[in-house]
Chains A and B, each alone.
Chain A
Amino acid sequence: MSNRIEVLKTYKIYIGGQFPRTESGRTYVATNAKGENLANVCLSSRKDVRDAVGSARSAFGGWSARAAFNRGQILYRIAEMLEGRKAQFIDELIKQGATKTAAENEVSLSIDRLIYYSGWCDKYQQIFSAVNPVASSHFNFSVLEPMGVVTAIAPQENALIGLVSVIAPIIAGGNTCVILASQSKPLSAITFAEVLNSSDLPGGVVNILTGKVAELLPYFSDHMDVNAVCYAESDAASKKMVKENASLNVKRVVLYENTKWMTETAQSPYFINDFQEVKTTWHPIENIGGAKAGY
């Protein structure tokens, strides 16, 4: 029998590429289905939301200016890092109540989903952009641009795949995000933050908080420097509040209700498109020698 005491991990939040504790100093206990304690987790406050949005805003310029191909490489890198720590994620999902098979499935699917969106990074533009027919001598085209800072409430169930499926399309499209992890199953989210931190993702592109949805949802939805808010749960009163708060600065509201995160229907380029703005440009062209406008 060894005398060694195991070193337990402190589950801290992830803001701007760092792992601070919540500024409020509060914690809550994450438990498994049997009610046994798993870990003390940060109970984030509105000031953590403020700091995270600030980090996301400063990271936005650099991230959105990256070549689409480079964003794809980085998403791929995240998948690689996740692959390397598979066992740890499976272990944590089992601790949080999943069966061994279910946990293995969820982790593999999460890796595959990152690869999936990695491939889309430099392709969704071609699918959703357009050259538009117009009745004058103009070259008229519509292209997608990232919206900016997105806040998101991750799904409560499917602690890992839900989180990955919400984050991946947001950052694939050049946005930065602040995401609130599952309140009841927060462990995988923080370990995923460590994966993000050891990939080539610049600090601040993804910020992950843990805490109570009911407490933080107002700040996720009413912060004036947030451009879109994503709510992946189905509570009617919360949805109403998100929509009302979003109207303050006309944020886009994206609701994912009853999405089956473990199935293929939960991945498509339309998830990227959810967080894109369309910019249409009119460019004058010369009408050459009796010919009609070319486009």
Chain B
Amino acid sequence: MAANITIPDFSIAPRIDQVGVEERASRFTKRSLKNETKINGLKLALNMIDLTTLEGKDTDGKVKQLCYKAMHLHDAYPGLPTVAAICVYPSMVSVAKKALGDSGIKVASVSTAFPSGQAPREVKIRDTKFAINQGADEIDMVISRGKFHQGEYNFVFDEIAAIKEVCGTTTLKVILETGELGTYDKVRRASDIAMYAGADFIKTSTGKIAPAATMPVTLVMLEAIRDFYYKTGKRISMKPAGGISKAKLALHYLVMLNEVLGEEWMNNQYFRFGASSLANDILMQLMKQKTGVYQSADYFSND
């Protein structure tokens, strides 16, 4: 398949109209959603979450607890979907894999010297191989932002391609860390590089840098995915991550996804939320819809 894709000159990637993108993105937040749609949307969003813990203080216990949470989001509400995946550091992959068993929830591992990406390529490759050998179903890699800013697009491209080669059939998510890229033009260019180099997902952020995912940045990336689809016929998936902690915001993202890419993308194969506290807020909204009473975080598990 890759053979018949011509790789474009990334230095002439489309320029982005900042004002236009921000205006357009803010429009998606003004749609009226009726209750039934809202409930379905919330359940769908829940099913798209990559429940994430990426902290230096992560322990086996913490990861096991998170996995339990992934499988039992809120037992007081029967019939809820599970989250899509658990996202952890490579050292926690085997713990998560064991804890999740045959629940069908995937294990995603960050890799390539996450979050900075400042390591030699062979280290990044070994990091990725380790995660895959431990049983990771998905790899979340970071791009070399420093090289990208220096204009060494070939370096960035080759690195992604090298990691994709290691991944084989394992899903590869490429984190652009848009908060460090600075302009929408660069976000668009980095998106193009990642997709042509073999990314299955493009992902906004590590969650370690502010700003993380925003709606305009996600819109730029969704439009890059759409253009790539028109050119190559290949569907790339999207994962905004970081800073999405409210159910309402998640619904805005789904509205945007639906209006930019359409229904084929409205499932967890093609769209994910990288989040940790989003799940509880969605659960609280779902319980609000069910009981008619505003909910309290006191009655939902912390992890």
Contact = CB atoms under 8 A, between A and B. Distances in A.
A50 B246 CA distance: 14
B293 interface: yes
Interface stretch (B61-69, B196-204, B295-303): B295-303
Interface string A118-140: 00000000000000000000000
A86 interface: no
A230 interface: no
A188 B293 CA distance: 31
Interface in A261-281: none
B230 interface: no
Interface residues of A, number: 10
Contacts of B296: 223-225, 249
Contacts of B295: 224-225
A242 to B, nearest CB: 14
Contacts of A50: 294
Which residue, A50, A223, A224, has most C-beta atoms of chain B within 10 A?
A: A224
Contacts of A48: none
Contacts, number: 24
Nearest to B299: A224
Contacts of B299: 224, 249
Contacts of B298: 224-225, 249
A207 to B, nearest CB: 15
B293 A53 contact: no
Which residue, B294, B298, B299, has most C-beta atoms of chain A within 10 A?
A: B294
A55 to B, nearest CB: 13
Contacts of A222: 293-294
B141 to A, nearest CB: 36
A72 to B, nearest CB: 29
B293 A248 contact: yes
A19 interface: no
Contacts of A225: 294-298
A180 B151 CA distance: 59
A219 interface: yes
A249 B287 CA distance: 14
B59 to A, nearest CB: 25
A225 B296 CA distance: 4
A121 B88 CA distance: 47
Nearest to B293: A222
Nearest to B292: A222
A48 to B, nearest CB: 12
Contacts of B297: 225
Interface string A237-252: 0000000000011000
Contacts of B293: 222-224, 248
A291 B297 CA distance: 48
Contacts of A249: 296, 298-299
Interface string B270-303: 0000000000000000000000011111110000
A223 B295 CA distance: 7
Interface string A212-256: 000000010011110000000000000000000000110000000
A123 to B, nearest CB: 30
Contacts of A49: 294
A248 B293 CA distance: 9
A50 B285 CA distance: 12
Which residue, A49, A219, A248, A249, has most C-beta atoms of chain B within 10 A?
A: A249
Nearest to B297: A225
A219 B288 CA distance: 12
A50 B294 CA distance: 7
Contacts of A219: 294
A224 to B, nearest CB: 4
A222 B287 CA distance: 14
Contacts of A53: 294
A222 B299 CA distance: 14
A94 B160 CA distance: 75
Interface of A: 49-50, 53, 219, 222-225, 248-249
24 contacts: A49-B294, A50-B294, A53-B294, A219-B294, A222-B293, A222-B294, A223-B293, A223-B294, A223-B296, A224-B293, A224-B294, A224-B295, A224-B296, A224-B298, A224-B299, A225-B294, A225-B295, A225-B296, A225-B297, A225-B298, A248-B293, A249-B296, A249-B298, A249-B299
Those 4 A-B pairs whose CB atoms lie nearest each other, nearest first: A225-B296, A224-B296, A223-B294, A222-B293
Given A223-B293, A225-B295, 17 more contacts: A50-B294, A219-B294, A222-B293, A222-B294, A223-B294, A223-B296, A224-B293, A224-B294, A224-B295, A224-B298, A224-B299, A225-B294, A225-B296, A225-B297, A225-B298, A248-B293, A249-B299
